[in-house]
């Protein structure tokens, strides 16, 4: 069992930090009031808004140091009047030389409120003048540098400044945070920057002391005592109870609005169902996935899922689409299909994959990161382009419809059927519209079932299905002519690893070889463009031929997971061998030999950062430690290497206290723990991959949801040699009567081999 060191000491430290903040705020407040600037700020704010509204951008008026960066997010700020710098030595040196604090702004290219703050504040000449005079301003793409984001987001949360993006943090020249927040409206931002500048001049010691205390707190937070207590399977039962207590039985999911699809929650619950047979665990997942598939969070026209729902019904989304979401959600739907055999789950999984392949895939095989939430509304698409287009972008413009548009495109009869099915209303179907962006607009969601729609219009269900399909195609053609959301076309290894897993598993479970080939193409892209085979070193990001940023633990862990899934789909030992090679490098570079778990970065990464952290929770992305732990366990069965299992157990012990006290924070670690406590089935098929008998056997295996399996195929001399060097017992396995033969081994004991598919299925289901 492990626990945080000295919690009372932590509380004292937090109290000290909070008192420091209170004193700073009192000081800033005092300065502000004695100047009496309320009226002045209001006048200046109106003047600034007028200036922005009258701006034209026939050419760039400003260029800063971000112009040489390839991150789409940094490029969005390269022509701000703010003298932005990328994170690096030049900015740090300038801050020290000029004795100025640093203003650090962190976001990502598809972040709606990042766009808003860029338009309102960072394009504002008055705000730029203040920042340029009193601060050194640094921009960071959190997707390129999650290590930087983790440190300063944790600081902001701990200090009570808030969480979210854009993240705005002020640092000392030695990078210690002393004040922060998230999005600030322009007038508020003007006040804050002026007051902080005055405080740096007059009350610097307080700010420096606050920075020291926050960094000290972070260092203390990362000291986790490992008591070496036994890890127990009862942790899985306690987690299940926690999910039951937090479940929303009406709309699914485990929170109120806003509702994020958190695939790792479903990963755990499906495996808990497989382990225990508890129907409630399965139904929580199936109901949530059905509600998501019906909701507006799903793009019913073009495929894929949006980032999250702003309401609790999965109706009105925040419209950006992220690669990592869609990769993980695909697997949730696939596994639901394996268990239930309901075609809707397979349909959604295929739909996501087709969206990814058609819209966010590089021609050489890698996957782009995201599509934006904002775009130019189609009704002003032909507006003169001498006006800077970002001013006219609005959220969801690409995806929303008026009833008039739908009736015009589809005609009266089909338009009425489509509108009834998808809940389209003349006045719009978006109830909560605080920014007044969605007047008379509709988010498509399944408001009525096929049978209800057929009954209302007096035609057959098959006819309704045909009409809906044709209508969707017509609307897709029309939508493709709208101004598209911006594409974040950087390629990240970690997210590509997740999508390689999704493609491999779709190809494997649905019997679609083309998807496995796409996964292999992506893996080869990463191997050729982002990997140094001599040093075994991964880079994190590729864009337009440039590889940049040293690979982090998540890049190794997610890619290794993808390669293991790709081996089990293709049975090309190239992927298994590379996974082992990367694992050894990962363990050497990131594993904490003293306490267990994986640091986000290596010791050789950015040494300017004040602290080296570990991810300690699974959220919209699983943590590197959780994914790496499951990888280690899987590889211990693929290779027979006990050292892999020992590292996994050490990591379990590190996080056992957290799994016990806060299980909802570590669902993917619980997935690994479930695997650890399961009876592992090593399934070895000996046969020709091109033969029908081998394929029939593999199809039967892949129909069954067996999360605790290792699947190997010995199909030629090379595969026997490659696998045999890790697992010598496979060398003696042969085909019976020259037919594809399966050997099922459980906990190092093998059943009698068989070439009878039905007998194999019975063995897999535990019927001997």
What CA–CA distance (Å, rounded) separates 515 from 513? 5
- Res. 356: pLDDT tops 70: yes
Range 386-400 average pLDDT: 77
Q: Under a CB-based contact definition with an 8 Å cutoff, are residues 178 and 172 in contact? A: yes
DSSP for residue 66: G
Q: State the pTM of this model.
A: 0.90
- Res. 47: pLDDT tops 70: no
Instruction: Map residue 178 onto helix, strand or coil.
Output: strand
Please, what is the average pLDDT of the chain? 89
Instruction: Name all contacts of 688-697 with Cβ < 8 Å and 24+ positions apart.
Output: 688/715, 688/740, 689/571, 689/713, 689/715, 691/740, 693/739, 693/740, 693/755, 694/740, 696/740, 696/757, 697/740, 697/742, 697/755, 697/757, 697/760
Closest CA to 304 of 282, 284, 324: 324
* Beta-ladder partners of 367: 361
Q: Where are the alpha helices (DSSP H) in 295-447?
A: 323-340, 343-359, 403-410, 412-421
Q: Under a CB-based contact definition with an 8 Å cutoff, are residues 323 and 502 in contact? A: no
* Beta-ladder partners of 537: 532
pLDDT at 608: 84
pLDDT digits (tens, 9 = 90+) for 157-196: 988 898 899 999 999 999 999 999 999 999 999 999 999 9
pLDDT tier at 516, thresholds 50, 70, 90: very high
CB-based contacts of 203, cutoff 8 Å, min separation 6: 24, 27
pLDDT digits (tens, 9 = 90+) for 76-102: 999 999 999 999 999 999 999 999 999
Question: Interior CA angle at 369 toward 313 and 444, to 5°?
Answer: 30
Q: Do 2-221 and 681-764 have matching folds?
A: yes
- Tokens 């081999």 -> residue: 753
Range 642-668 average pLDDT: 94
Side-chain-facing half-sphere of 669: CA atoms under 13 Å: 32
Assigned CATH topology for domain 681-764:
Glutaredoxin (3.40.30)
pLDDT digits (tens, 9 = 90+) for 287-310: 999 999 999 999 999 999 999 999
What CA–CA distance (Å, rounded) separates 245 from 266? 15
- Res. 743: pLDDT tops 90: yes
DSSP letters spanning 254-309 = SSSSSB---HHHHHHHHHHHHHH--HHHHHHHHHHHHHHHHSTTB-TTT-SB-SEE
pLDDT at 259: 94
pLDDT digits (tens, 9 = 90+) for 143-162: 999 999 999 999 999 888 98
Least confident range of 378-392, 402-416, 612-626: 378-392
- Res. 52: pLDDT tops 50: no
Prior bond to 258 cis, omega within 30? yes
What CA–CA distance (Å, rounded) separates 10 from 176? 19
Q: Which CATH architecture has domain 2-221?
A: 3-Layer(aba) Sandwich (3.40)
The residue ranges of every structural domain in the chain are 2-221, 399-481, 681-764
Least confident range of 7-16, 384-393, 407-416: 7-16
Range 238-247 average pLDDT: 96
pLDDT digits (tens, 9 = 90+) for 673-708: 999 999 999 999 999 999 999 999 999 999 999 999
The continuous run of DSSP H or E covering 3 comes out as strand 2-4
- Tokens 């992506």 -> residue: 522
What are the two backbone dihedrals, phi and then psi, of residue 178, each rounded to the nearest 5 degrees? -130, -10
Q: Supply 87's token pair.
A: 């994170």
- Res. 132: pLDDT tops 70: yes
pLDDT digits (tens, 9 = 90+) for 489-508: 999 999 999 999 999 999 99
Which CA distances in Å does 269 have to 223, 265, 502?
30, 6, 19
pLDDT tier at 340, thresholds 50, 70, 90: very high
């Amino acid at each position: 069992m492990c626990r945080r060191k000295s919690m009372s000491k932590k509380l004292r430290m937090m109290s000290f930090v909070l008192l420091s903040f209170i004193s700073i705020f009192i000081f800033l407040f005092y300065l502000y009031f004695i100047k009496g600037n309320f009226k002045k700020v209001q006048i200046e704010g109106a003047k600034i808004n007028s200036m922005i509204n009258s701006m034209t951008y026939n050419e760039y008026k400003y260029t800063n140091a971000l112009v040489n960066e390839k991150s789409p997010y940094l490029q969005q700020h390269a022509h701000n009047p703010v003298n932005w710098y990328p994170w690096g030595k030049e900015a740090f040196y300038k801050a020290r030389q000029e004795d100025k604090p640093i203003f650090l702004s962190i976001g990502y290219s598809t972040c709606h409120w990042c766009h808003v703050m860029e338009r309102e504040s960072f394009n504002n000449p008055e705000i730029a003048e203040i920042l340029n005079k009193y601060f050194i301003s640094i921009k960071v793409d959190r997707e390129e540098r999650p290590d930087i984001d983790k440190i300063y987001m944790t600081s902001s949360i701990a200090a009570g400044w808030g969480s979210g993006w854009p993240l705005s943090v002020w640092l000392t020249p030695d990078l210690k945070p002393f004040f922060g927040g998230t999005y600030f409206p322009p007038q508020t931002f003007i006040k804050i920057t002026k007051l902080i500048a005055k405080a740096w001049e007059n009350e610097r010691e307080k700010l420096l002391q606050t920075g020291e205390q926050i960094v000290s707190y972070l260092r203390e937070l990362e000291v986790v005592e490992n008591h070496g207590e036994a890890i127990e399977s009862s942790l899985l039962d306690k987690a299940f109870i926690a999910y039951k207590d937090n479940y929303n039985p009406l709309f699914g999911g485990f929170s109120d609005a806003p509702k994020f699809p958190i695939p790792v929650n479903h990963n755990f619950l499906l495996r808990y169902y497989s382990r225990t047979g508890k129907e409630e665990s399965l139904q929580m997942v199936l109901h949530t996935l059905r509600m998501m598939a019906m909701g507006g969070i799903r793009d019913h026209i073009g495929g894929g899922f949006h980032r999250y729902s702003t309401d609790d019904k999965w109706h009105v989304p925040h419209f950006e689409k992220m690669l990592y979401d869609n990769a993980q959600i695909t697997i949730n739907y696939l596994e639901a299909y394996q268990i239930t055999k309901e075609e809707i789950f397979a349909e959604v999984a295929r739909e996501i994959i087709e969206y990814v392949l058609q819209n966010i895939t590089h021609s050489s095989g890698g996957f782009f990161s995201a599509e934006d939430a904002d775009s130019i509304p189609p009704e002003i698409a032909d507006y003169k382009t001498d006006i800077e287009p970002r001013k006219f972008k609005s959220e969801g413009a690409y995806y929303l419809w008026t009833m008039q548009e739908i009736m015009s495109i589809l005609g009266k009869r089909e338009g009425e059927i489509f509108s009834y099915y998808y809940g389209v209303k003349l006045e719009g179907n978006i109830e909560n519209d605080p920014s007044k962006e969605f007047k008379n607009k509709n988010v498509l969601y399944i408001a009525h079932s096929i049978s209800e729609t057929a009954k209302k219009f007096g035609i057959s269900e098959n006819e309704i299905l045909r009409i809906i399909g044709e209508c969707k195609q017509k609307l897709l053609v029309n939508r493709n002519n709208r101004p598209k959301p911006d594409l974040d076309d950087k390629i990240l290894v970690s997210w590509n690893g997740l999508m390689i897993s999704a493609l491999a598993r779709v190809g494997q479970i649905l019997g679609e070889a083309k998807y496995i080939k796409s996964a292999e193409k992506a893996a080869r892209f990463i191997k050729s463009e982002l990997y140094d085979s001599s040093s075994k070193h991964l880079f994190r990001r590729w864009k337009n031929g440039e590889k940049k940023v040293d690979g982090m633990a998540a890049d190794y862990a997610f890619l290794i997971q993808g390669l293991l899934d790709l081996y089990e789909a293709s049975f090309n030992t190239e992927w298994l061998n590379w996974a082992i090679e990367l694992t050894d490098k990962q363990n050497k570079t990131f594993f904490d030999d003293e306490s267990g778990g994986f640091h986000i970065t290596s010791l050789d990464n950015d040494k300017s950062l004040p602290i080296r952290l570990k991810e300690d929770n699974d959220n919209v992305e699983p943590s590197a430690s959780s994914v790496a732990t499951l990888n280690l366990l899987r590889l211990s069965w693929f290779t027979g290497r006990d050292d892999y299992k020992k590292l996994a157990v050490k990591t379990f012990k590190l996080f056992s206290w957290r799994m016990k006290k806060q299980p909802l924070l570590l669902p993917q670690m619980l997935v690994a723990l479930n695997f650890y406590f399961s009876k592992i089935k090593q399934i070895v098929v000996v046969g020709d991959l091109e033969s029908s008998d081998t394929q029939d056997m593999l199809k039967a295996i892949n129909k069954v949801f067996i999360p605790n399996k290792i699947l190997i195929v010995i199909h030629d001399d090379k595969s026997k040699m490659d696998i045999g060097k890790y697992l010598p017992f496979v060398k003696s396995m042969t085909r019976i009567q020259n037919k594809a033969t399966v050997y099922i081994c459980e906990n190092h004991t093998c059943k009698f081999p068989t070439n009878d598919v039905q007998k194999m299925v019975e063995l897999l289901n535990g019927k001997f």
